[in-house]
Amino acid sequence: MSAPAVSRGALLPLYAQPDLELERGERCHVWDTGGRRYLDFTAGIAVTALGHASPVVRGAIESALSRGLVHTSNLYRTRPAVELAELLVEGSFPGGVFFCNSGAEANEAAFKFARRWAGTTAGPGKHEFVAFRGSFHGRLFGTLAATDRPAYREPFLPVMPGVRFADVGDVRGVEASLSGGTVAAVIIEVVQGEGGVRPIPPDFLSALRGLCDQHEALLIFDEIQCGLGRTGRLFAWQHAGVVPDLMTLAKPLAGGLPMGAVVASDRVAETLKPGDHATTFGGGPLVASVGAAVTRTIADPAFLERVQELGRHLVSGLESLAGRSARVRTVRGLGLMRGLVLDGPAAPVVTAAREGGLLVVPAGPDVVRIVPPLTITEAEIDEGLDILERALTAS
């Protein structure tokens, strides 16, 4: 039996948490205060890509601390931020990088950069955005405006004006929005995460690229959840070979420390000048040192090949589970970002899995999301899928 978890105390009631207090972690496992071990298929919602207690993360933290600089502000340059920016540009496309502290902040910055680019190249009036049904880009006022979740938006209206929604796959609808000449940028997650683990078809990404070029709008890929190795490529858009103008990153970037980034292509970068955007903490020497160590580890072709191998193992296990359980409609995703689509609510299955010793997280009402550390093993995947199968039967 687990020891009783600490109560919420003075924390605001914003998270619906089970009565569970986590105390420590190692690789793909976490332990509660009663010493019970859980296999972690959430990785803190696609964050701890190298697992808990990663020697890479720990080594980078220790070496940064030994230099004594945790934070300096952006009044001055520090080497780790420059190094990490170079790694991200080398792995994606020529341009420059802005560092911030979360996914929502990265998307907010990308919106500002798109408006600066559009204002500089086309003048006023080109300030709108196109986002997609099923999207999740964050919970700040700009990103909430581009997030297709009525329950998240409605209590806080009005959000930022000027976002038009289109359906994924509806090329004509996007074209109609762009043809008025008022759209600065189109934003899309290459694999929709919160919206149910839905990879966007490569031909649609390439149609968006064509439309943005034709109508002089920017293409923003939100790689906050699907980026940095999660799908078996460094960035998910590399499966489709469609290159964006702006790319946003966050979750796994600093191994669990809070960090976000925007990579802006040269033509966008050229329109930015000092004072256009800033944040006090962005790209500090501690987080950037960890970001560089994590990115270097993940960008290794052998590491990415291993993620692809594990992704194939996971999907074949999920498909055979789907074949045995009438409750599973389908399996979606790429690499180690998979969704088990059920015939009913995912929440009871998530609870039953936790009671069985496996942590998973829903993605929308009826999808069980599986985003384990990228360092998981085949045996751990099999163990987790056995627990999940029992949870499907029990719930």
Ligand X SMILES: Cc1ncc(COP(=O)(O)O)c(C=O)c1O
- Which sequence positions are flagged as catalytic? 136, 222, 251
DSSP sequence for 251-282: TTTBBTB--EEEEEEHHHHTT--TTSS--SST
Q: Is 108 in the site for ligand X (CB under 6 A)?
A: no
* Least Å from the CB of residue 323 to ligand X: 30
Least separation, in Å, of the C-beta of 33 and ligand X? 26
137 part of the interface to ligand X, by CB under 6 A = yes
CB neighbours (10 Å) of residue 202? Answer: 14
In degrees rounded to 5, what are phi and psi of residue 246?
Answer: -140, 140
Binding segment (CB under 6 A) for ligand X, from list 21-29, 30-38, 98-106, 311-319: 98-106
Among 25, 51, 103, 335, binds ligand X (CB under 6 A): 103
> For residues 56 and 373, is the Cβ–Cβ distance under 8 A?
no
- Decide: is 48 part of the binding site for ligand X (CB under 6 A): no
Q: Which of 54, 78, 92, 102 binds ligand X (CB under 6 A)?
A: 102
Stretch that binds ligand X, among 130-138, 231-239, 263-271, 385-393 (CB under 6 A): 130-138
> What is the rounded CA–CA span in Å between residue 142 and residue 109?
10
Is 194 near ligand X (CB under 6 A)? yes
Nearer to ligand X, 148 or 194 (CB): 194
Beta strands in the chain (DSSP E): 22-26, 29-32, 37-40, 95-100, 128-132, 163-166, 183-189, 191-192, 198-199, 218-222, 246-249, 260-265, 328-334, 337-342, 358-359, 361-362, 367-370
Give the whole-angstrom CA distance, residue 44 versus residue 360.
Answer: 10
Piece of 49-57, 136-144, 315-323, 349-357 that binds ligand X (CB under 6 A): 136-144
Tell how strand 29-32 and strand 22-26 pair up. antiparallel
Which CB atom, from 103 or from 291, has the smaller least distance to ligand X?
A: 103
- Say whether residue 256 binds ligand X (CB under 6 A): no
* Cα gap 301→286, rounded to integer Å: 26
Asked if 244 is part of the footprint of ligand X (rule: CB under 6 A), the reply reads: no
With respect to ligand X, which residue has the nearer C-beta, 264 or 322? 264
CB of 130 to ligand X, least distance (A): 16
The answer to the question of residue 285 lying near ligand X (CB under 6 A) is no
- Encoding tokens for residue 195? 């919206």
The yes or no reply on residue 136 touching ligand X (CB under 6 A) is yes
138 scored as a contact of ligand X (CB under 6 A): yes
Per-residue burial over 67-86, b = 16 or more CB atoms within 10 Å of its CB, e = otherwise: eeeeeeebeeebebbebbbe
Site string for ligand X, 203-222 (x = CB under 6 A): -------------------x
> Is position 240 an interface residue for ligand X (rule: CB under 6 A)?
no
Residue span 143-182 as binding mask against ligand X, x where in contact by CB under 6 A, dash where not: ----------------------------------------
| CA atoms of 342 and 334, how far apart (whole Å) | 18
Contacts of 239 (CB under 8 A, 6+ apart): 190, 202, 231, 233, 334
For ligand X, the closer of residues 159 and 322 by Cβ is 159
Residues that bind ligand X (CB under 6 A): 102-104, 107, 136-138, 189, 193-194, 222, 224-225, 250
